[in-house]
Chains A and B, each alone.
Chain A
Amino acid sequence: MAAPMLRGCCLARRGALACIDGGSRRGRGAAIGCRSSGKRGRSSVAQQSLITAQKSGKGEHAWAAVVGLEIHAQISSNSKLFSGSQVQFAAPPNSLVSFFDASLPGTLPVLNRRCVEAAVMTGLALKCHINKKSLFDRKHYFYADLPAGYQITQQRLPIAVNGSLEYSVCVGKKRSQVITRTARIKQIQLEQDSGKSLHDELRSQTLIDLNRAEGQLRVDANISVHHPGEPLGVRTEVKNLNSARFLARAIDSEIERQINELENGREILNETRSFDCKLGCTIPMRDKEGKQDYRFMPEPNLPPLLLYDTASLPPGADPQQVINIDRIREQLPELPSETREQLVQQYGMLPEHSFTILNEVGLLEFFQNVIKETRAEPKKVTSWILNNFLGFLKQQNLAVNESPVTPSALAELLNLLDRKAISSSAAKQVFEELWRSKGKTPSQIVSEKQLELMQDGEALNQVCLAVMEEHPQVVLAMKRGNPRAINKLIGLVRKATLSRADPTVIKEILEKKLSS
């Protein structure tokens, strides 16, 4: 079995309380995923949040919710964690299964080097302490998709512990204020994945496919509530959460349910629940077994996993057989937080904008390509990318790489705008046209639609004079200090010039005329 997975440790055994956010109403743990195919991975995060009870009848008795996330992420590798069979999405059932994966007697696990490197890299990216010695254990339970009757995992001493991740949250009435939070990572461990079961209700049977490698990112949440200062409450586990949105709603509803139960004198059972998205609440899931006893024991077929750094590397060791943490650290790509910081420093971007740019796949590259080809101010570029470009993408439900507008086209448009060849409203028109017609350059569109700004200052002067003469009442109102009057005049001049004059220039001319 086993697609290689990284598993981040959950808050299960309590303990991991992260920062208490005094000011906020509610906070949640963040989901952190490490995408890779192969064995499943999990990383977990714990964050405490403070919420005040909604029921005014019971008085203002503060509740604190503790949320821990168990995240299973598949490692990107060619073969599985413990066997040499392939990792591939959507292959014919049981075609990627070796004798070990089928748990045939006499087969043994052989650890995949790439999976270890992936785990170390993930641990480093999440600022964990990498355990130079980690151990493998067996976690026993019975289910048809687990033919061995146990799963090889790292419960006692996982490969990485005690990390953290900073993330940003939009708060405030208009969600315009961005604050950063930190989530603690308790541990990251390598573990096997179980197979896939398809339930056939009709024929009362379950079909088992031992391929694994579903390319999934799965999250389970562990939730409990308590009064600050008192011991932690009984936790429930919520499973089958398929999206970030459901995750948030499920956690919210479970916190509310627990508070409700406790305030009405009832107890919370330590159970597994699942989120019913139609009902909008969690419902009990597993059988009344109560707590599972996994009978953890050391995996007898795997010696401890030893990692080295440059200082401790044994001399003359086979490079294939040793893993150097320092080398892996050097190979880390630039992490998102570094990139965001760079954007803020280099382009004067607002932090929340840097998040938006990085959160959209391909947008950073698009942005950087536009910057390369344009003379326009970076802030202008940022504004056009986030407002106009992204707006159109979302409206037409397109990904960045499906955009009909290329970075070069946008760069050219911004250049035209920058040297005042066209007005900003004309630029918007051109941009709209770029989305509709493929292959036309901004310059072509500008000349086709005659959107060039009037460069002839004298001609514009004449138009202004003419408009002022035609509308003496408005001029009078303007002289009297009516602010709307000047806008009306500007509008009239623009109409007269077929929108080919820059409103700011018009305003200047009119004001000059007025004062003269």
Chain B
Amino acid sequence: MWARAVRFGLRSWVAWRRGFTSKADPQGNGRVSAQVIEHLERLALVDFGSQEAVARLEKAIAFADRLRAVDTGGVEPMESVLEDRCLYLRSDNVVEGNCAEELLQNAHRVVEEYFVAPPGNISLPKQDEQEPFSYN
């Protein structure tokens, strides 16, 4: 059953990967361009930080690409591993909330029961402003 799930899951996974790798790796040499890394860093707020990290990403993509060897023609993609489960429907009753004090204890700064955040998003520094680290 697990094998079946894997097979079913492959199609959408592979299709995604295919799209990704063709965008990331137009030359097909397994390298992810600096442009894509920058885009990913901005979208996901991760910091690749080193060439090693990028290399690891490239290895992961190459590993996933091996899924293309599987023929998934005519196989329905799996939406999630839960797709055979029943979605539980909760009755419309109020059963929680009213714990502002507890929640606010987690916050670094509060003002009168509001969480405090910086004004708007703080944009990432541009590539040239970052710590020198070259993607080659």
Residues of A within 8 A of B (CB): 77-79, 83-86, 92-99, 101-102, 104, 110-116, 135, 140, 142-145, 197-201, 204-210, 287, 293, 295, 298-306, 320-321, 323
Whether the Cβ atoms of B91 and A320 lie closer than 8 Å is yes
Query: DSSP majority for the B interface?
Result: loop
Whether the Cβ atoms of A111 and B89 lie closer than 8 Å is yes
Answer yes or no: B131 CB below 8 A from chain A CBs: no
Give the docked Cα–Cα distance between A89 and B115 (Å).
19
Answer yes or no: B111 CB below 8 A from chain A CBs: yes
Answer yes or no: B119 CB below 8 A from chain A CBs: yes
Q: Quick one: which of A95, A101, A208, A320 contacts B89, CB cutoff 8 A?
A: A320
Chain A neighbourhood of B114, CB < 8 A:
93-94, 198, 207-209
Taking the closest CB of chain B, its distance from the CB of A472, in whole angstroms, is 83
Answer yes or no: B6 CB below 8 A from chain A CBs: no
With A94-B104, A207-B115, A208-B116 as known contacts, state yes or no: A113 contacts B93, CB within 8 Å. no
Whether the Cβ atoms of B86 and A321 lie closer than 8 Å is yes
Chain A neighbourhood of B95, CB < 8 A:
79, 84
Answer yes or no: B66 CB below 8 A from chain A CBs: no
Chain A neighbourhood of B100, CB < 8 A:
92-95, 97
Whether the Cβ atoms of A98 and B97 lie closer than 8 Å is yes
Whether the Cβ atoms of B93 and A323 lie closer than 8 Å is no
Give the docked Cα–Cα distance between A165 and B103 (Å).
43
**Beyond A96-B98, A303-B87, A321-B86, 8 additional pairs, beta carbon < 8 A:** A84-B97, A93-B113, A96-B97, A204-B119, A206-B117, A207-B114, A293-B43, A303-B83
Whether the Cβ atoms of A78 and B120 lie closer than 8 Å is no
Interface string of B29-61 (1 = CB under 8 A from A): 000000000010001110000000000000000
Chain B neighbourhood of A101, CB < 8 A:
97
Q: Quick one: which of B39, B93, B115, B117 contacts A84, CB cutoff 8 A?
A: B93
Residues 94-124 of B contacting A (Cβ, < 8 Å) = 94-100, 103-104, 106, 111-121, 123
Answer yes or no: B128 CB below 8 A from chain A CBs: no
Answer yes or no: B130 CB below 8 A from chain A CBs: no
Answer yes or no: B88 CB below 8 A from chain A CBs: yes
**Can you spell out 24 A-B residue pairs with CB atoms less than 8 angstroms apart?**
A79-B95, A83-B97, A84-B90, A84-B95, A85-B94, A93-B114, A94-B104, A96-B98, A97-B99, A97-B100, A102-B106, A110-B88, A112-B92, A140-B43, A140-B44, A142-B45, A201-B119, A208-B115, A208-B116, A302-B87, A304-B83, A304-B87, A305-B87, A320-B89
